[in-house]
Amino acid sequence: MSLSVFSLQRQCLLRSSHMCYQATQLLGTTQLLNKSLRSIRFFATSTRDADTSMSTSPIEFTSNLVFEKSRLDSIADKASMALRCTDDTTDAPNLPFNVKRVDHVSRKNAKAVPGKMTVASIRKNVIDPYLQLTKPRLTTLVMLSAICSYALSPYPATLMQLTCLTIGTTFCSGAANAINMGREPDYDRMMTRTSTRPVVRGIITPKQSFEFAAVIGTVGTSVLYFGVNPTVAALGASNIVLYSWIYTSLKRKTILNTWVGALVGAIPPLMGWAAASSLTHPGAWVLAVLLYAWQFPHFNSLSHNVRNEYKNAGYVMTAWKNPKLNARVGLRYTLLMFPLCFALSYFDITDWYYQIDSAIVNAWLSFWAFKFYWQQRLNYSKDVINDKEN
> Tell me: the pLDDT tens digits for 260-271?
999 999 999 999
Q: Residue 380 has what pLDDT?
A: 83
Pairwise CA distance, residues 368 & 80, whole Å: 71
- Report the CATH number at residue 221: 1.10.357.140
Burial class of residue 88 in the structure, from the number of CB atoms within 10 Å of its CB (0-12 exposed, 13-18 middle, 19+ buried): exposed
Fill in the DSSP letter of residue 242: I
Cα 338 versus chain centre, distance: 38
* Residue 277: other Cβ atoms inside 10 A: 15
Q: How many residues does the chain have?
A: 390
Instruction: Please give the residue that has the higher pLDDT: either 75 or 136.
Output: 136
Fill in the DSSP letter of residue 107: G
Look at residues 277, 292, 312 and tell me which one is the last residue of a structural domain.
Answer: 277
Decide: 232 and 271 in contact? Cβ < 8 Å: yes
Point out the least confidently predicted range of 8-12, 186-190, 229-233, 345-349.
8-12
Does residue 367 lie in a domain region? yes
Residue type, position 256, single letter: L
Does residue 111 lie in a domain region? no
The band of 127, judged by pLDDT with boundaries at 50, 70 and 90, is confident
The band of 332, judged by pLDDT with boundaries at 50, 70 and 90, is very high
Taking the CA atoms of residue 367, residue 370, residue 372 and residue 373 in that order, the dihedral angle to the nearest 10 degrees is: 180
- Tell whether 269 and 127 lie within a shared domain: yes
- Tell whether 321 and 267 lie within a shared domain: no
With H, G, I as helix, E, B as strand and everything else as coil, classify residue 348: coil
Does residue 101 lie in a domain region? no
Fill in the DSSP letter of residue 204: S
Point out the least confidently predicted range of 159-168, 176-185, 356-365, 377-386.
377-386
Question: Range of 192's domain?
Answer: 123-277
The band of 124, judged by pLDDT with boundaries at 50, 70 and 90, is confident
For the stretch 245-260, pLDDT in tens is 999 999 999 999 999 9
User: What phi, psi does 204 have (nearest 5°)?
Assistant: -125, 135
- Tell whether 136 and 41 lie within a shared domain: no
- Tell whether 140 and 202 lie within a shared domain: yes
Does residue 151 lie in a domain region? yes
- Tell whether 290 and 257 lie within a shared domain: no
- Tell whether 127 and 86 lie within a shared domain: no
Q: Residue 43 has what pLDDT?
A: 45
Our CA angle for 175, 245, 318, nearest 5°, is 115
Domain count, the chain: 3
Cα 54 versus chain centre, distance: 79
Does residue 128 lie in a domain region? yes
The alpha-helical segments, DSSP class H, found in the chain are: 2-46, 50-55, 57-84, 119-122, 128-133, 136-152, 159-183, 185-188, 198-201, 206-227, 230-241, 248-250, 257-276, 282-305, 307-313, 318-321, 323-335, 337-346, 354-379, 382-389
User: What phi, psi does 91 have (nearest 5°)?
Assistant: -70, 110
For the stretch 53-111, pLDDT in tens is 444 444 444 445 445 555 555 655 655 554 454 444 444 445 444 544 544 444 444 45
Does residue 224 lie in a domain region? yes
Residue type, position 331, single letter: L
- Tell whether 270 and 290 lie within a shared domain: no
- Tell whether 151 and 253 lie within a shared domain: yes
Q: Residue 123 has what pLDDT?
A: 77
Q: Residue 126 has what pLDDT?
A: 80
- Tell whether 168 and 207 lie within a shared domain: yes
Average pLDDT over residues 5-18: 52
- Tell whether 323 and 273 lie within a shared domain: no
- Tell whether 229 and 291 lie within a shared domain: no
